[in-house]
């Protein structure tokens, strides 16, 4: 069984998927059940470079100290979501880009998540 917007990873090939329509089935990749990613939170170790921070109502940065953005260790994406989960925006990042996203709309986004290629999923 899946829930809306959950994120799953295949531990064999590295595929990452997000649930856009929940159902009762199990997500399988490479012949094995996929792992549901549980987001780390601000109490966790290494939070200062991983928890998404709203610098203001239009700008989100990954980490109170910006996260590294090198080939071996970088943020793959940042996503922000409205409280009712009806709207979300995802920004996919390239190596050497700043670990930030700008929100160009007037909706009230109040939650953010990000995915680090080494340290996994984090939420604000």
User: In terms of CB distance, is 71 or 84 closer to Fe ion?
Assistant: 71
CA-based nearest residue to 110, from 62, 63, 52, 66 = 52
CB within 8 Å of 108: residues ≥ 6 apart: 82, 83
Should residue 74 be labelled a site residue for Fe ion when binding is judged by CB under 5 A? no
Cα 123 from Cα 115, distance rounded (Å) = 9
**What's the min distance (Å) between Cβ of 101 and Fe ion?**
17
Interacting positions 87-116 with Fe ion (CB under 5 A): 116
User: In terms of CB distance, is 105 or 118 closer to Fe ion?
Assistant: 118
**What's the min distance (Å) between Cβ of 2 and Fe ion?**
26
Cα 50 from Cα 53, distance rounded (Å) = 9
User: In terms of CB distance, is 29 or 93 closer to Fe ion?
Assistant: 93
Q: Which of 63, 99, 119, 121 binds Fe ion (CB under 5 A)?
A: 119
Neighbours of 49 (CB within 10 A): 18
Cα 124 from Cα 112, distance rounded (Å) = 5
Total residues in contact with Fe ion, by rule CB under 5 A? 3
Rule CB under 5 A: which residues touch Fe ion? 116, 118-119
């Amino acid at each position: 069984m899946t829930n809306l917007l959950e994120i799953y990873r295949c531990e064999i090939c590295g595929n990452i998927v997000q649930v856009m329509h929940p159902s009762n089935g199990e997500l399988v990749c490479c012949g094995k059940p996929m792992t549901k990613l549980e987001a780390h939170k601000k109490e966790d170790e290494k939070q200062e470079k991983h928890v998404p921070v709203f610098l203001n109502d239009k700008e989100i940065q990954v980490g109170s100290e910006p996260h590294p953005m090198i080939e071996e260790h970088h943020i793959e994406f940042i996503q922000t979501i409205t409280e009712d989960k009806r709207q979300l925006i995802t920004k996919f990042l390239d190596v050497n880009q700043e670990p930030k996203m700008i929100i160009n709309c007037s909706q009230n986004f109040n939650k953010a998540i990000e995915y680090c290629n080494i340290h996994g999923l984090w939420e604000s």
